[in-house]
Structures are given as C-alpha cells and as structure tokens.
Copies of this chain bind each other. A is one copy, B any other.
Amino acid sequence: MPLIVGHCHGPAHRPPFFRMQLAFSAAEIAAIVQPLSIKGTTDATVRGIAALGLAQAGDLSFLGNPKYKTEVATSAASIVLLPPDYAGEPSIGQQFLFVQKPSVALARLCTRIEQLLWPKPVPGIHPTAVIAPGARVAATATVGPLCVIEEGAVIGERTHVQAQAFIGRNAHIGADCWLMPRVTIATECVIKDRVRLQPGVIIGSDGFGYEFVQGRHEKVPQVGNVVIENDVEIGANSTFDRARFSQTVVGEGTKIDNLVQIAHNVVIGKHCLICAQAGISGSTTIEDYVVLGGQAGVAGHLRIGKGAKADGQTGINSDIEPGSFVKGSPCMPYNFEQRFNVLKKKLPDLFKRVDALETVAEELKKSSAS
C-alpha cells in the first residue's frame, strides 16, 4: 500500500538524529521494556535513539524489521532491542535486550520519554483564559493561557486544554482529553473521553450546503453538531463540519491525520485510520477498521464497508464492499489497477501492433481477392 501516509515503523536511515535531553541507565531501560532475557552489560547512559547503522555509543537502537538484521552486528549502539530469535552476541560494553516485539518495546520507552517531555500540568485555569460564568471546568482539568471557553461549555476531569484554544457555547469535552494549542470546538459539539486533538483542529465548522435559488446559492443552515467518540486522535489543522441537522460522528479509537476534511453528516466507524489530506464528502458512512490513504477522496452518500482499504490518492465514487482494497480515481480493485498500470506501459506498443495487423489484413485481403 505504497501511498498510505504515516505508517512509519522502520528506522530512519540517515542523520541527523535527535539527542534526547534526558538520560536513562541500562537498569532504567530494562525496567521500562521488561525484556524476556538480557545478553551483555553496558555502563553507558542512554541519551539518544538511533537506527542501527547510525547509532553511536550512548544510543539505544532496535531491530524492528528483519531486513536490517545484518546491521546489528556492526551497530555501535549501547543497547539494542531484539526479537527472541536473534542469534548474535553483543560486543563488549553493549547490551542486548530480547523482547517479544522490539517496536512495541520501543514504543513503551518512547511513552516514558513523552511523559518527561510533556509533564502533566498542574490543574487549574490560567489567569489570562476567558471563561464564561456559566462554563463548568472540572477541578482536575487544566486550561492554558488565552483560552476562550463560552457559556454552557463543560470541560471534564483531568482534561488538558492548551493555550489559545476555543470552546464554544454548550460544547462538552469529556475526561482525560488533550486539546493542543489553538484547537477550536464550536457550539454544541461533543468530545468524549481520552481524545487527543493536535494543534489547529477545527470541530464544528458549518457544513457546505446551499440551495440554488434564482441564480444565487442560498445557505442551508447547519444546525446539527459533531460527536467525537472515546480514544480518537485528530491531526493538525484537520476540519470537521457540523451536520446539517443530526450529527457528524467519528467512532471510538479512530485515528485521523493532518489536514483531513470530514464533511457534514459523515459517520466514521471505530478504529479507522484516515491518512493526511484525505477528504470525505457529506453523508458518507465509513464502517469500522477502514483505512484511507493520504489524499484519498470519498464522494458523498456512500458506504465504505468494514475493513476496506484505499490506497493514497484514490477517488471513491461508489459503495465499497467490506474487506476490499481499492486504488485509482475512480477507484478499481487494487489488483486490477496494478495490472492496468502494467498494461498502460505497453499501450504505445499495442497501437503499433494493431497498425501492423491492419497492414497484414490489407495484404491478406488483397491476396485473397486476387
């Protein structure tokens, strides 16, 4: 699925790499990743994470993809996370930690780093935030500087609203959410629990609906709202239109990338992945576990079946069966589209072959007539 954006699980094979402003001892690393077994010892303090080929003393590295296996033996990393079946031995001063899945172990370590980079803020409302008298902010929530929270809005327990966010009238934000700087939640919209919204996200802009009356587009008021279910994450500057009436919905656990457009009355199921710059037109239903590649577009009033996948830049203009994989604009089954792309290269030759056949046919007709 080559154009699908953002599934970066492999190492980044080039400098420069990041030197953490943090430091871990080998014992601290082991406590976090909980290895099945350990080989070798190191006194190094881990201050960086790097790909096997780039790592230096003081770095931690990992074998996330078997194709880089040969790089382990020559890696200068002080600690390497490895799958249980890796057979080699560490060099002197190097430690191997064997774990069920190195990428998951690395994620656990990064979660710890994340907590250190973004320490949990002290609950409370910054004095420069503008909170309407009728808004309710939980005592355990944090509201950053220069936020605006309008009348009737509710901010749930332990939710962190960063600087300059806007929460409109009667909007409800649940518990344990993280709204990053400059997020906008418009009037009456609902954000449930553990939702993470990257900077610049807009929830609840008007849907794009007009009636054409006497040569002008007359606005169809958009008086529904948007509901974001539990555990959703949404990327920077993505936009979600409120429903004409009823609701635009994003289902539990769905992850949405940057600059994505979700039109009014769209209903997205659970645990979908919507990659950057994709767009979904009005009233379309996306069932659970759907994956849309980057820059994919879906027309309105369609149903995309459970677990369907679309490659990057796919244009979907018809219902899609559950579990199918589509590509192209307008989209076709992935395998057909790949076959077409092979034939496309042979098309100039096909024209020549038909030219030649016509010449032969002409000659044969002549000789047959004579």
Contacts and interface: CB of A to CB of B under 8 A. Distances in A.
B164 A186 contact: no
A315 B187 CA distance: 36
A210 interface: yes
Oligomer: number of copies: 3
A122 to B, nearest CB: 13
A117 B168 CA distance: 11
Contact of A8 (B4, B198, B249, B264): B264
A69 interface: no
A306 to B, nearest CB: 12
Contacts of A294: 261, 279, 281, 297
Interface of A is mostly: loop
Interface in A274-325: 275-277, 279, 281-283, 285, 294-295, 297, 299-301, 312-313, 315, 317-318
A161 B143 CA distance: 23
A95 interface: no
Given A114-B221, A224-B18, A246-B49, A209 B265 contact: no
B239 A259 contact: yes
A243 interface: yes
B283 A111 contact: no
Given A244-B110, A312-B299, A202 B199 contact: yes
A107 B218 contact: yes
A37 interface: no
A188 B118 CA distance: 10
Contact of A6 (B8, B187, B263): B263
Given A259-B261, A276-B279, A207 B365 contact: no
Nearest to A300: B8
A32 interface: no
Contacts of A38: none
Contact of A5 (B198, B208, B350): B208
Given A6-B281, A18-B247, A247-B17, A130 B145 contact: yes
A264 B329 CA distance: 27
A354 B346 CA distance: 12
A297 B368 CA distance: 55
Interface of A: 2-10, 12, 14, 16-18, 20-21, 49-51, 103-104, 107, 110-111, 113-114, 117-118, 126, 128, 130, 144-146, 148, 163-164, 166, 168-170, 180-182, 184, 186-188, 196, 198-200, 202, 205-211, 213, 215-225, 227, 231, 233, 235-237, 239, 241, 243-247, 249, 253, 255, 257-259, 261, 263-265, 267, 271, 273, 275-277, 279, 281-283, 285, 294-295, 297, 299-301, 312-313, 315, 317-318, 329-330, 332, 336, 339-341, 343-348, 350-351, 353-354, 357-358, 360-361, 364-365, 367-368
